[in-house]
């Protein structure tokens, strides 16, 4: 049997579960497809899921932590066993541990502004098909302040200002928080723009992880 490779489906399922749990019934019928990754069967909504991480020196050493032989607190052992078994650790232990498959996912990540530019170009070109509304869900490895979230909204709005097809909502997903950003509300002359913040508790993160890993 060949070495198991990472796939993006774990994160796409994690995003789907997060949206349904935090934002309710509007998202409960999303299905995991491609171009974009999450879709309503009636094409009322399509959501592309991606990730972003700023480049840093020795990022591989920071992200990939060798699990074998490390001294793990007893309360962390169950989560660590899950990470070793699945290859993923997102949502567990506040991001302290990264599974070997998840490392490959983050290794290919681009800086936030660069990935937004790429995804805005794709939605504007019709790459994601025909949907009434489009959303962009970004897993952010780096912490963002509320001011940085607003600046990211403004940057995205500026990029797609003259496009006929554009994202109406951007979801910025941190380990412990989901920012839901209404891109149709961005107005540089009026602050604040519409951006809701939803806490993702440790218990929720463990539940999201288990559901995302077990679903196939």
pLDDT at 212: 84
pLDDT at 92: 67
Could you tell me if residue 133 is inside a domain?
yes
Could you tell me if residue 175 is inside a domain?
yes
Domain range holding 179? 9-214
From start to end of the chain, where are the E strands? 31-32, 38-39, 46-52, 134-140, 169-173, 177-182, 195-199
pTM (2 decimals)? 0.80
Could you tell me if residue 169 is inside a domain?
yes
In the predicted model, residues of the chain with pLDDT beneath 70 are: 1-7, 55-77, 79-80, 82-85, 87-89, 91-108, 188-193, 215-216
pLDDT at 58: 44
Could you tell me if residue 34 is inside a domain?
yes
For residues 92 and 97, what is the distance between their CA atoms, to the nearest angstrom? 8
pLDDT at 69: 41
Could you tell me if residue 166 is inside a domain?
yes
Could you tell me if residue 52 is inside a domain?
yes
pLDDT at 131: 97
**Looking at the DSSP assignment, which residues form a beta bridge with residue 166?**
none
Could you tell me if residue 3 is inside a domain?
no
Could you tell me if residue 2 is inside a domain?
no
For residues 30 and 9, what is the distance between their CA atoms, to the nearest angstrom? 14
Q: How many domains does the chain have?
A: 1
pLDDT at 16: 94
pLDDT at 18: 95
């Amino acid at each position: 049997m060949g070495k198991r490779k990472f796939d993006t489906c774990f994160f796409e399922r994690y995003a789907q579960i997060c949206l349904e749990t935090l934002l309710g019934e509007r998202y409960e019928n999303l299905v995991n497809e491609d171009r974009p990754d999450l879709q309503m069967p009636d094409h009322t909504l399509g959501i592309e899921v991606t990730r972003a991480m700023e480049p840093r020196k020795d990022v591989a050493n920071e992200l990939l932590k060798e699990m074998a032989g490390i001294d793990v607190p007893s309360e962390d052992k169950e989560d660590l066993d899950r990470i070793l078994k699945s290859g993923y650790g997102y949502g567990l232990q506040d991001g302290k541990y990264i599974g070997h498959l998840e490392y490959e996912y983050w290794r290919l990540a681009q800086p936030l502004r660069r990935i937004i530019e790429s995804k805005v170009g794709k939605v504007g070109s019709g790459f994601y098909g025909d949907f009434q509304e489009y959303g962009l869900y970004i897993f952010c490895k780096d912490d963002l302040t509320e001011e940085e979230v607003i600046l990211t909204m403004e940057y995205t709005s500026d990029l797609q200002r003259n496009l006929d097809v554009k994202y109406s909502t951007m979801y910025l997903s941190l380990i412990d928080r989901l920012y839901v950003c209404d891109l149709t509300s961005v107005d540089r002359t009026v602050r604040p723009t519409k951006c809701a913040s939803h806490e993702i508790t440790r218990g929720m993160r463990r539940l999201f992880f288990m559901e995302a890993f077990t679903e196939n």
